[in-house]
Amino acid sequence: MKESVTTYLEGQIVNEEMEFTLVELCRVSGASQDEVTLWVAEGAFEPQGARPEEWRFSGTALRRVRTAHRLAHDLEINPPGIALVLDLLDEIDSLRAHPRRTRSG
């Protein structure tokens, strides 16, 4: 096992100020353009721009696209199912973050 050490790296935060084109998003996430196009058609992602060549995805889409990609491949979930799962996962996250707010209204 070889070991190599490098110096401190400064990274860039992928946040909402960052934009991906369809090609960039697919390259980074590993999902295919066809898959992402189908997910957009289901409303799971809402890029700016009218046509796929003009689409601009927010940096926050990266995590969701990667989740969608893994779920689609590991569990063979179709695009409507992906859209539903992503919505439910968001809801679970928000319930976890506010376990009390829902009970006390």
Q: Which residues bind another protein (CB under 8 A)?
A: 1-15, 27-28, 30, 59-60, 62-63, 66-67, 69-71, 73-75, 85, 89, 93-94, 96-101, 103-104
Rounded to whole angstroms, the Cα distance separating 102 from 98 reads: 7
In the complex, minimum distance from the CB of residue 50 to another protein, in angstroms, rounded to a whole number: 27
Token digits for 21? 């084109």
Token digits for 40? 């957009």
In the complex, minimum distance from the CB of residue 57 to another protein, in angstroms, rounded to a whole number: 13
| 79 closest CA partner among 40, 50, 47 | 40
- Please identify, using beta-carbon distances, which residue of 51 and 103 lies nearer to another protein: 103
